[in-house]
C-alpha cells in the first residue's frame, strides 16, 4: 500500500482514531498490507476486525497485534497496545480505504485498471491477463478468487505508486455488489465473460444475474473500453447499456478478437489468435494481426478466457507477440481448476474448485475429447451449489449429458448430487456405468481399486462439496 498517515486513514474511512496509551502520533505513516485474517498479518500491516457468520474478527485482534499490526480497525474499542480506528462497519471502511488509495495512485497518471466479471472464468482470465501484463510492467492481481467485498479491496490496497496495472476480479452474489466494487476502482477496461446459472439461486434468477453483471459496464466512460463476449447473447445486450467503446471477443467471425482452427487434446488447445489492426487505417500496422497459439491450459472452453485476456491486453497496447508468448507459458488456470495430476498410467484432472452447469458441461466435454484411444473416461461428480430453483433440473441435465457424451464411468458423490446418478440410470446407465457413494471416503476406496492404466479421471464439483480434496487424494495415489 502507499504510505498514509493514521490521520489520513481515519479521514478516508470516516473513523475515529484511538491512540490513548500507544505513544503514537496521528502523523505516523502506515504502508503495510491490509487483511481481515489475523494469520496473514505482517509487521506494519493493518488488521480489519470483520464480524463473520461463524466468528468475529475482533476476537483475533490480540493475535494480529502480536504479529505486528500497526493499526487495528474495529467497530468497538478493544484493550490493545496499538492504534485503533473506530468505524461503524469494518468492511465498509476497508472499501473506503481502497477507494482512497486507488484515487491517489490514479492521480499520478500511471495506473490502468481492468475489471473482470462473469458467471464463469473470472479467475482463469485474471491469471492469464496477469501473465501478459507482468511482461510489460508492475502488475497487481488477486490471489485465488479474491473477488468479493473483502477480497477485492484487499487486492486494491496492494497498489503502490509504481503499479502500472491492476487486474480486479469482481464477483457478486446480488444486485449492487459489482457496482460497489466498480466505484472503488473504476476500470479503464471492463470485461464481461459470460452470464450463466452460476449463483443464480442467490441472485434470484438469470435476469437478475444479467442485471448484476451489467453493472461492470454501465458506469464506464466514453474513453473506456468494454470487452464483451459476442458469443453470449446476454452479454451482447450490454453494448447498448454502456457509453464505452465495445471490443468484442469470441469465436464468432464478427468478433474483433477471435480464435480459429481450435483443436484440443491432452496437452492443451491450439488455435489461431486474431487481433484487430493497431491504427485502423490503410498504413503500416493497419492489417489484422494473427498468430498461432499453443495454449497449455486444458479445456477448449478456456480459449474464451484467453481471448478475453488478449483483448484486454490489446486495449492496453500490448503487442501480439508478447500476448502470445505469455499465454503459452501458463500451464494451469489455477489450483483445482483443470489441474492435471496423477502419473503415467492414470491421469487425474482436478477441477473441483467450483462448478456451474456451464463449467460442468465444458469439463465433461473436455474429458470426452482428450481420452486415451484405448483408455476409459471416468467422471467423479459432486453437487453444483447455489442454483436455487434450477438445481434439480440442472443436475438432471448433467447426468444425461454424461451418458450422451459416452463417458465410460460416472461416479456421483454426496446426497445433493444424487439426481445426476438417477438421471444417468434413467438414460440407460443401469448396468453399473453410473455409481453413487454417500461419502468421499467410499468413492476413494472404490476408485483406488477400480482405476486401470490408461484411465482419465475428471473430478468436478462446487467448492462447498469439497471434492477437490478427493481429487488431491486420487492424484497423489496414482502419481
Q: What is the DSSP string of 54-110?
A: S-BGGGGHHHHHHTT-SEEEESS----SS-EEE-S-HHHHHHHHHHHHHHHHHTTT-
What digits encode the pLDDT tens for the residues 342-385?
888 999 999 998 888 989 999 999 999 988 888 999 999 999 98
pTM, to two decimals: 0.88
Q: Is 126 annotated as a binding residue?
A: no
By mean pLDDT, which of 145-149, 211-215, 257-261, 301-305 is the weakest?
145-149
CB 243 within 8 A of CB 221: yes
Please check if 118 is assigned to a binding site.
yes
Q: Is 121 annotated as a binding residue?
A: yes
- Exposed (0-12), middle (13-18) or buried (19+): which is 76, by Cβ within 10 Å? exposed
426 labelled ligand-binding: no
Bridge-based pairing state of the strands 29-30 and 4-5: antiparallel
Per the annotation, does 124 bind a ligand? yes
Q: Give the CA-trace dihedral at 461, 464, 467, 470, to 10 degrees.
A: 170
pLDDT in tens, 121-172: 898 999 999 999 999 999 999 987 678 899 999 999 999 999 999 999 998 8
Question: Predicted confidence band at 26 (pLDDT cuts at 50, 70, 90)?
Answer: very high
Q: How far apart are CA 250 and CA 105, in angstroms?
A: 33
Q: What is the CA radius of gyration of the chain?
A: 24
Edge-first strand order for the sheet with 112-117 is 139-140, 165-169, 112-117, 189-192, 225-229, 245-250, 257-265, 268-275, 289-295
Structural domains in the chain plus CATH codes: 4-90 (3.40.1390.10), 108-329 (3.40.1190.10), 339-477 (3.90.190.20)
Any known ligand binding at 392? no
342: phi > 0 → left, psi -120 to 50 → alpha, else beta; which? left
Q: How far apart are CA 149 and CA 142, in angstroms?
A: 13
Ligand-binding annotation for 414, yes or no, is: no
Q: How far apart are CA 174 and CA 182, in angstroms?
A: 14
Amino acid at each position: 500500500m502507499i504510505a498514509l498517515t493514521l490521520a489520513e486513514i481515519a479521514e478516508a474511512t470516516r473513523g475515529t482514531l484511538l491512540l490513548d496509551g500507544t505513544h503514537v502520533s496521528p502523523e505516523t505513516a502506515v504502508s503495510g498490507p491490509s487483511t481481515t485474517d489475523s494469520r496473514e498479518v505482517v509487521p506494519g500491516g493493518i488488521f480489519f476486525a470483520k464480524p463473520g457468520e461463524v466468528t468475529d474478527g475482533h476476537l483475533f485482534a490480540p493475535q494480529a497485534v502480536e504479529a505486528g499490526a500497526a493499526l487495528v480497525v474495529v467497530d468497538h474499542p478493544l484493550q490493545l497496545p496499538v492504534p485503533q480506528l473506530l468505524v461503524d462497519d469494518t468492511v465498509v471502511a476497508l472499501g473506503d480505504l481502497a477507494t482512497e488509495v486507488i484515487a491517489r495512485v490514479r492521480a499520478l497518471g500511471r495506473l490502468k485498471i481492468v475489471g473482470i466479471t462473469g458467471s464463469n472464468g473470472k479467475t482463469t482470465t485474471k491469471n492469464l491477463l496477469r501473465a501478459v501484463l507482468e511482461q510489460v510492467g508492475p502488475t497487481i492481481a488477486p490471489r485465488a478468487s479474491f473477488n468479493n467485498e473483502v477480497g477485492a479491496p484487499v487486492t486494491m490496497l496492494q497498489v503502490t505508486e509504481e503499479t502500472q496495472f491492476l487486474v480486479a476480479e469482481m464477483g457478486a452474489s446480488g444486485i449492487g455488489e459489482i457496482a460497489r466494487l466498480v466505484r472503488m476502482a473504476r476500470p479503464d477496461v471492463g470485461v464481461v465473460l459470460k452470464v450463466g446459472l452460476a449463483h443464480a439461486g442467490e441472485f434470484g434468477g438469470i435476469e437478475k444475474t444479467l442485471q448484476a453483471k451489467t453493472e461492470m459496464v454501465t458506469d464506464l466512460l466514453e474513453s473506456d473500453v468494454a470487452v464483451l463476449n459476442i458469443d453470449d447473447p446476454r452479454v451482447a445486450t450490454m453494448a447498448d447499456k454502456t457509453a464505452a467503446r465495445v471490443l468484442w471477443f469470441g469465436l464468432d467471425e464478427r468478433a474483433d478478437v477471435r480464435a480459429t482452427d481450435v483443436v484440443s487434446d491432452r496437452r492443451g488447445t491450439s488455435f489461431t489468435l486474431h487481433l484487430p489492426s493497431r491504427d485502423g487505417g490503410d498504413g503500416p500496422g493497419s492489417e489484422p494481426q494473427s498468430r498461432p497459439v499453443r495454449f497449455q491450459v486444458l479445456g477448449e472452453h478456456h480459449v474464451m478466457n484467453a481471448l478475453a485476456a488478449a483483448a484486454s491486453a490489446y486495449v492496453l497496447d500490448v503487442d501480439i507477440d508478447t500476448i502470445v508468448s505469455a499465454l503459452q507459458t501458463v500451464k494451469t488456470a489455477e489450483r483445482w481448476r483443470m489441474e492435471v495430476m496423477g502419473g503415467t498410467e492414470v491421469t487425474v484432472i482436478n477441477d473441483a474448485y467450483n462448478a456451474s452447469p456451464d463449467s460442468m458441461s465444458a469439463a465433461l466435454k473436455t474429458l470426452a475429447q482428450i481420452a486415451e484411444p484405448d483408455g476409459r473416461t471416468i467422471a467423479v461428480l459432486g453437487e453444483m451449489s447455489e442454483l436455487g430453483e434450477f438445481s434439480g433440473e440442472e443436475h438432471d441435465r448433467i447426468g444425461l449429458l454424461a451418458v450422451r457424451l459416452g463417458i465410460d464411468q460416472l461416479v456421483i458423490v454426496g446426497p445433493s448430487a444424487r439426481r445426476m446418478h438417477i438421471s444417468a440410470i434413467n438414460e440407460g446407465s443401469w448396468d453399473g456405468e453410473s455409481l453413487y457413494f454417500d461419502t468421499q471416503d467410499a468413492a476413494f476406496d472404490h476408485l483406488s481399486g477400480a482405476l486401470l492404466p490408461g484411465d482419465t479421471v475428471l473430478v468436478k464439483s462446487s467448492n462447498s462439496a469439497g471434492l477437490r480434496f478427493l481429487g488431491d487424494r486420487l492424484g497423489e495415489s496414482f502419481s
